[in-house]
Structure 1
Amino acid sequence: MIRILLGIAIGDALGYPAQFEPRSERKKRPVIGMGKYLDEYGQVRSWGEGLNGLWSDDTSLTLCLAESLLNGFNLKDQAEKFVAWLDQGYLSARDRAFDVGMQTTESLAKVRAILKNGRYDELEDLASDIDEQSNGNGSLMRILPLLVYIKGKNTKGQFDLIRKADALTHPHIRSALCCFLYLKMAEYIINDTDKYTAFQSARKDTLRLMEQLHCADAEYKALNRLLSFDLAKLPEDEIDSGGYVVSSLEASIWCLLNTDSFRDAVLKAVNLGDDTDTTGAITGGLAALFYGVESIPPDWITQLKKPELFEDLISKYENYSALGPG
């Protein structure tokens, strides 16, 4: 879990100051380290103390899920922690929720009402394929801690849990399928599979799952490049780094496959521009699993805001691992 939490947080924090700036801006002023970028004249500049090491909703919701899973898979507990983050700044770097996506806000309003009225069983039935426009990257960015709970389970059992966790904020099946592919790739990586084979194996598992689920043609079309293309060989100008869940997953895997270190993977991710913190976070989680926590520059870790939150949760997981699963 330490690799997951730190990898995601580092990628998030590297990208957050440059969020939503276009790729052309990153070409002129590339991010080169935690809180640092080069200006147009090649001079090293700082984003400023307030932004240095600041992580956003990507990491907060990841921490919420990771903390919840210490007590098993409990949708009510996950939902309560997500709502506490949104309403009270629980596990936030700023003691309040910020950088909140529209889809997440709308979904958690529904979840809040369910919790308030005690209709907890409804949390199991939030998945819906009606709104295809709800496929932002807000569940993909936080889903990786679920790996410790689903690893080793059969494919159907894994997907059932993934879809329930995903649907708390992003109910469409496309988002769940992207989370499944991402988690399967991570599972292969932690089983010492090289990153290229891990991707190929994960995409095969996803395709088999889609056939079992009798997915609509629209889902095969949407995931076509993830399932069929040699993603690593696509030129950068064909990689979209916006907030669409499929694009985010493509961009993150592309960055991992086209680099040879944690540092290079996350810097490539944030320098794609646009949704830099989330692309960085998704890439960072996989890269940390593949290269190991020792590959993360120590000075990047020490600059993270609120280090005590990471230390506390990592300590809990160390005890959890010693006593049982994960």
Structure 2
Amino acid sequence: MTFINHSSKDGIIGLLVGDAVGVPYEFLDRETIARHPAVDMIGYGTHQQPAGTWSDDGALTVALLVSLIHHPELDTIDLGRRFIQWYRQGIWAARGEVFDIGIATRKAIAHIEQDPTRPEQAGGNDEYSNGNGSLMRILPLIYKLVNKDAATRLDWITRVSSLTHRHPVSILGGLIYVEIGIQLLQSPSSTTLKQCYQQACQHINVQYADYPEIERYQRLLSGEIDQFPIEEISSSGYVVHTLEASIWVLLHTSNYREAILQAVNLGEDTDTTAAVAGGLAGIYYGYEQIPKEWLHPLARLEEMVEYCEQFDQQGE
């Protein structure tokens, strides 16, 4: 059962706002942030950017969104070209400036530039290529794949992830995230976040039981990640940690604002944890629950909402 009253701006703007709230705190450890916890959207800090500035997470999410507007059946050559436009020209960046990029993503974009005809071979596929750089930008596929079968979901997520991250652990992280997002889209509004999460875990444990790397996500897929104490939740850039931390904060908070601030206050990769959590929080709570004082300073808000509307029209 699919509920069609969801707008992609719930998740997309939810991600962009979360990213922007996290940007000033990136790389600060939990103890440092605890002395001056995040309580609002601010500017400057780590990257010296004005309030409302999203990072590479948001930019590459928008690049995927716009690529899918122009190529609804997925064209990874076009997507690779848009990644290059972002990195070299600042297109899709919040304010036309690239101030943050992961090592794996930078290497992958260089590979795409060298051979733009095979972008799906660009991403690293070794054990050390399992940062969160593909998870952070995969959210538009939640909306594209909600009515697709499991094989199509796996194919699209693998292809999109592989532009920067080809290792099965990274691909599986994207799969889990998309499946949880789809569960949120398909569940009645009376369903709790915990119920949506546990239902998604049950489906994933059956659907991807033969996936060897699923053991990496055992804590998350137990359906009880919220039972782990905060001391056992890492917010590093490792894709497994980011996914665990993001779901943990959703299950420990009761509205969009709380989820984003909790994600940021975990420290370290604050922009990505808040972006990944923010996308799902936006889907669950809705655009109207994103604080207006966080929307007002968000870079290019009207343009981003317009992109979301164009994207949504494809499904009508």
Judge same fold: TM > 0.5, yes or no: yes
Match in the other structure for 2:100: 99
Residue 201 (structure 1) shift:
2.3
Candidates 125, 131, 153, aligned match of 2:126: 131
Match in the other structure for 1:82: 83
Query: Is 1:302 matched with 2:296?
Result: yes
Residue 4 (structure 1) shift:
1.6
Match in the other structure for 2:3: none
Task: Indicate conservation of the 8 Å contact 1:127/1:164, yes or no.
Answer: no
Task: Rate the CA distance shift 1:315–1:177 in 2: closer, same or farther, 3 A.
Answer: same
Farther off after superposition, 98-107 or 85-94: 85-94
Letter paired with 2:234? D
Task: Indicate conservation of the 8 Å contact 1:91/1:309, yes or no.
Answer: no
SS of residue paired to 1:35: coil
Question: How far does the alpha carbon of each residue in 1:106-129 deviate from its partner, in whole angstroms, 9 at most, with x for none?
Answer: 1111112111xxxx2x3345577x
Letter paired with 1:123? P
User: Within 2, Cα distance between the matches of 1:229 and 1:201?
Assistant: 8
Match in the other structure for 1:62: 61
Query: Is 1:195 matched with 2:230?
Result: no
SS of residue paired to 2:211: coil
Residue 6 (structure 1) shift:
0.9
Residue 223 (structure 1) shift:
1.3
Query: Is 1:325 matched with 2:310?
Result: no
Task: Indicate conservation of the 8 Å contact 1:177/1:206, yes or no.
Answer: no
SS of residue paired to 2:101: coil
Residue 83 (structure 1) shift:
1.0
Task: Indicate conservation of the 8 Å contact 1:186/1:286, yes or no.
Answer: yes
Q: What 5-or-longer segments of structure 2 have no aligned partner? A: 1-7
Residue 154 (structure 1) shift:
1.1
Letter paired with 1:23? R
User: Within 1, Cα distance between the matches of 2:177 and 2:67?
Assistant: 20
Farther off after superposition, 194-203 or 282-291: 194-203
Query: Is 1:255 matched with 2:249?
Result: yes
Match in the other structure for 1:215: 211
User: Within 2, Cα distance between the matches of 1:312 and 1:290?
Assistant: 21
SS of residue paired to 1:133: coil
Query: Is 1:177 matched with 2:172?
Result: yes
Letter paired with 1:231? I
Q: What 5-or-longer segments of structure 1 have no aligned partner? A: 37-45
User: Within 2, Cα distance between the matches of 1:273 and 1:11?
Assistant: 14
Query: Is 1:245 matched with 2:239?
Result: yes
Residue 208 (structure 1) shift:
2.5
Match in the other structure for 1:147: 142
User: Within 1, Cα distance between the matches of 2:223 and 2:284?
Assistant: 22
SS of residue paired to 1:33: coil
Q: Give the TM-score normalised by the residue count of structure 2.
A: 0.90
User: Within 1, Cα distance between the matches of 2:127 and 2:48?
Assistant: 40
Letter paired with 2:184? I
Task: Indicate conservation of the 8 Å contact 2:132/2:239, yes or no.
Answer: yes
Question: How far does the alpha carbon of each residue in 1:145-171 deviate from its partner, in whole angstroms, 9 at most, with x for none?
Answer: 111211111112101110100010111
Question: How far does the alpha carbon of each residue in 1:46-87 deviate from its partner, in whole angstroms, 9 at most, with x for none?
Answer: 859943111111110011001111121111111111111011
Candidates 157, 160, 164, aligned match of 1:162: 157
SS of residue paired to 1:305: coil
Match in the other structure for 1:39: none
Letter paired with 1:111? I
User: Within 1, Cα distance between the matches of 2:145 and 2:300?
Assistant: 29
User: Within 2, Cα distance between the matches of 1:143 and 1:280?
Assistant: 14
User: Within 2, Cα distance between the matches of 1:63 and 1:154?
Assistant: 24
RMSD: 2.0
User: Within 2, Cα distance between the matches of 1:82 and 1:195?
Assistant: 33
User: Within 2, Cα distance between the matches of 1:236 and 1:152?
Assistant: 35
Task: Indicate conservation of the 8 Å contact 2:108/2:123, yes or no.
Answer: no
